[in-house]
Amino acid sequence: GYQFQNWAKTYGCCPEMYFQPTSVEEVREVLTLARQQNKRVKVVGGGHSPSDIACTDGFMIHLGKMNRVLQVDKEKQQVTVEAGILLAELHPQLDKHGLALSNLGAVSEVTAAGVIGSGTHNTGIKHGILATQVVALTLMTADGTILECSKSINPEVFQAARVHLGCLGVILTVTLQCVPQFHLLETSFPSTLKEVLDNLDSHLKKSEYFRFLWFPHSENVSIIYQDHTNKAPSSSTSWFWDYAIGFYLLEFLLWTSTFLPCLVGWINRFFFWLLFTRKKENSHLSHKIFTYECRFKQHVQDWAIPREKTKEALMELKAMLENHPKVVAHYPVEVRFARGDDILLSPCFQRDSCYMNIIMYRPYGKDVPRLDYWLAYETIMKKFGGRPHWAKAHNCTRKDFEKMYPAFPKFCAIREKLDPTGMFLNPYLEKVFY
């Protein structure tokens, strides 16, 4: 049998049958078989989500063979792709046409349908989550019907399906709004938590794709600006600093800290001093700057809170760590921003948001105690009206989501109409909807 494992190796499952359809017809055949045998179906993309959102013991459909670019509309600067295309496969094709996606997450080994389904985001207060770049999509529902969805056709379903959680049907094609190809200059420089929180608005105005990294157990912050540039590609990265030090030495020290947790604060400050105190500049094609390697296996939480709560929430997280010296937090806490939207289950639904991403690495695959940190963080996020990233680990259930999402009942009604028998549910989604 086939064994599915997500990228972080935090979840795995053994689906009863594994399909790699090459056409819409073959997808329909799988759904027909599933209906006949009363099986559940889960479509999986790049398998990058650190949660069990893609796990099933029923049928698993992998759309990796449905990965073509179907149409490029030069005039409208829009591209229509099959749902299984990896963004990494799409970038070179867009490059050929002088086009680009206006915003991307950190990873491109993810599928077009998966990226939108889980609410993937990056940063930039002028930019929404990645799903806001979708102008149309087609989806096959449980009974084999194909629905075309856009602002003008099936607008209700469209509003739900842009963050679909894989529970409305099989996404077949996605049409993305592109922009002309562009280069980015990334500048990173050191600062303090107080400075960045006191001047948040000016940072957000100053740089189109602004984010910052906070080093827990310290005041240290690394600010990262990314902006359009005409500069020739250049890079200040080096194997020695980025790998020998930033990966191998760090992993060894983090492993050591599993025996001596008091080392973690020292490690965070030491690496800030070592790697983040000099101003650095890189420039390249936009997709080369947006994407970077997530080198470590890791546990992640990433919640979106209203943007105006950023300062309070971070100060509370910092105070919690100061008051509980036994709770340790790896660096960085990554803070990003996104524009509000009208997608029913988008964490940014109807509000500009701040995403606060916390992390615990697994040095050499070893689990580091993190539950105290996780719980304290979730408590703070809930207090400030947070909504968890759909692809990341969280403990929320339907009761929580009903409070968080004004449009939750509306989404449920659409889901029940499109999938009355629950063909596309799995254990993760049962917690969400039941």
* Three-class SS state of 295: coil
Length, in residues, of the chain: 434
Give this prediction's pTM: 0.95
Beta bridge partners of 432: none
The confidence score (pLDDT) of residue 250 equals 94
Return residue ranges of the chain for CATH 3.30.465.10: 65-181
* Three-class SS state of 371: helix
Question: Is the CATH number of domain 183-388 3.30.2290.10?
Answer: no
Return residue ranges of the chain for CATH 3.40.462.10: 183-388
Scan for tokens 């002028």, then name that residue: 126
Rounded CA-CA distance 213/196 in Å is 10
Residue 237 confidence class, pLDDT cut points 50, 70, 90: confident
- Kindly give the pairing relationship between strand 280-285 and strand 211-214: unpaired
Whether pLDDT at 50 is above 80: no
Rounded CA-CA distance 371/380 in Å is 14
The 3-state DSSP composition of the chain as helix, strand, coil percent (nearest 5) reads 35, 25, 40
Whether pLDDT at 48 is above 80: no
Helical pair 250-257 and 263-275, crossing angle rounded to 10 deg: 170
Contact 213, 224 (CB under 8 A): yes
Tokens of 235: 């890079």
CATH architecture of the domain formed by 65-181: 2-Layer Sandwich (3.30)
pLDDT tens-digit series, residues 161-178: 999 999 999 999 999 999
Q: CB under 8 Å to 423, separation ≥6 — which residues?
A: 31, 34, 35, 39, 40, 41, 142
- Kindly give the pairing relationship between strand 183-192 and strand 280-285: antiparallel
- Kindly give the pairing relationship between strand 41-44 and strand 12-13: unpaired
The confidence score (pLDDT) of residue 70 equals 98
The answer to which of 111-125, 230-244, 398-412 has the lowest mean pLDDT is 230-244
pLDDT tens-digit series, residues 146-164: 999 999 999 999 999 999 9
